[in-house]
């Protein structure tokens, strides 16, 4: 018989294999049983190839719920034609072991056919926040994300869903769709996990050799310098241009963008100065690109071009950078 857990309880490492379900019916049956016992349920959606960043989200989920479900699904609809859907690492057996080690209760690993059955014809599209940055660089990407996340949230019926702040634009897209569609779930963002060199942990880091990882680690350092310059009162446009030059000098062949943007709607800030704050590092990668973000806690003056302050209080800014397909080593 299962013992009802308390919030924040870290389950002991399991000596039995993690239960895996592959159908919506099985998932809902288990979640229904937990809720009938008075337990809150958290969902941690992933695409697998798990690392410490994912496991930290599971631990965070246990602060919000007694039961945690992790999903592993490599979603084809969020990959472009020239992207790495076929090559994306799939390591379900290892993922299940790692999840069991941190006390996860259930792995939901649906097939493509279960998620998108014959005749599937619906798409969820979130306007506004999905359009700049990765939305402009990867047409259709966030439609795929919004659709699969909507399905996962509705399939699981969880009380809480935890997503990494590393994928910051994705997190804002998800928060918007949950508000707009009245999905009854609390969305929680988990801090970005980094290695000793400051490189954000990512399943796609496996694509990089040692030299490329050294270059990629400069991404976070360059953004920290940019935040310091913004805090010192330098104009946004000058800081963005300097960051591009620094990345190219660090070994990046091409920089797609360096942009300072608002924290919720991702509105473009600048070219004027921002007012002070403190940094909060983050990163958002994907192959063959990677990105990093720094939350500077910086506020633009109310007269800043292209920015409409809410309630007379301007919002903080984020600096974003993307790493190109190839690194100059």
Q: Report pLDDT for 197.
A: 86
Q: Report pLDDT for 307.
A: 28
In three-state secondary structure terms, 121 is: coil
* C-alpha pair distances (Å), 89 with each of 154, 169, 265: 26, 23, 32
Under 8 Å between Cβ of 103 and 62: yes
Q: Report pLDDT for 188.
A: 98
Q: Report pLDDT for 208.
A: 87
54 in active site: yes
Q: Domains for the chain: give ranges and CATH numbers.
A: 20-190 (3.40.50.620), 203-323 (3.30.1300.10)
Average pLDDT over residues 173-181: 98
3-state helix, strand, coil in the chain (%, to 5): 35, 20, 45
Q: Catalytic pick from 9, 54, 141, 289?
A: 54
pLDDT at 12 over 70: no
pLDDT at 254 over 90: no
For 268, phi then psi, to 5°, come to: -65, 130
Of the pLDDT bands very low, low, confident and very high (cuts 50, 70, 90), residue 10 is low
For 313, phi then psi, to 5°, come to: -115, 110
* pTM of structure: 0.82
Under 8 Å between Cβ of 296 and 279: yes
Of the pLDDT bands very low, low, confident and very high (cuts 50, 70, 90), residue 242 is very high
Q: Report pLDDT for 230.
A: 93
Average pLDDT over residues 227-251: 94
Of the pLDDT bands very low, low, confident and very high (cuts 50, 70, 90), residue 285 is very low
Residue pLDDT, tens place only, 29-79 = 999 999 999 999 999 999 999 999 999 999 999 999 999 999 999 999 999
Q: Which residues of the chain form beta strands (DSSP E)?
A: 20-21, 41-46, 67-72, 106-108, 160-164, 186-190, 258-261, 280-283, 290-295, 318-323
* C-alpha pair distances (Å), 206 with each of 201, 210, 267: 10, 10, 32
Q: Report pLDDT for 13.
A: 59
Across 119-128, 264-273, 283-292, least confident range: 283-292
Rounded to the nearest integer, the mean pLDDT of the chain is: 84
Average pLDDT over residues 287-307: 40
Q: Which residue has the higher pLDDT, 16 or 52?
A: 52
């Amino acid at each position: 018989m299962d013992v009802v857990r308390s919030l924040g309880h870290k389950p002991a490492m399991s000596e039995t294999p993690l239960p895996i379900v592959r159908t919506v019916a099985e998932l809902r049956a288990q979640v229904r049983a937990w809720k009938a016992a008075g337990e809150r349920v958290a969902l941690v959606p992933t695409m697998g190839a798990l690392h410490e960043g994912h496991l930290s989200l599971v631990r965070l989920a246990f602060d919000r719920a007694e039961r945690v479900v992790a999903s592993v699904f490599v979603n084809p609809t969020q990959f472009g034609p020239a992207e790495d859907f076929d090559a994306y690492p799939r390591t379900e057996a290892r993922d299940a072991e790692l999840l069991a080690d941190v006390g996860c209760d259930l792995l939901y690993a649906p097939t493509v056919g279960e998620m998108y059955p014959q005749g599937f014809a619906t798409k969820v599209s979130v306007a506004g926040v999905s359009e700049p940055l990765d939305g402009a660089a990867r047409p259709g990407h966030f439609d795929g994300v919004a659709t699969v996340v909507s399905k996962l949230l509705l399939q699981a019926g969880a009380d809480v869903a935890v997503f990494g702040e590393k994928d910051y634009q994705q997190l804002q897209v998800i928060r918007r769709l949950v508000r707009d569609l009245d999905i009854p779930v609390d969305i929680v963002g988990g801090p970005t996990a980094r290695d000793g060199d400051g490189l954000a942990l990512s399943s796609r880091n496996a694509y990089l050799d040692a030299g490329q990882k050294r270059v990629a680690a400069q991404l976070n350092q360059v953004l920290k310098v940019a935040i310091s310059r913004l805090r010192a009162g330098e104009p946004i446009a000058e800081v963005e241009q300097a960051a591009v030059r620094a990345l190219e000098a660090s070994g990046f062949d091409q920089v797609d963008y360096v942009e300072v943007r608002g924290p919720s709607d991702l509105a473009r800030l600048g070219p004027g100065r921002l007012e002070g704050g403190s940094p909060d590092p983050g990163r958002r990668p994907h192959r063959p690109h990677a990105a990093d973000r720094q939350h500077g806690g910086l506020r633009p003056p109310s007269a800043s071009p292209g920015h409409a302050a809410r309630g007379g209080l301007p919002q903080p800014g984020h600096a974003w950078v993307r790493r190109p397909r190839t690194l100059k080593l």
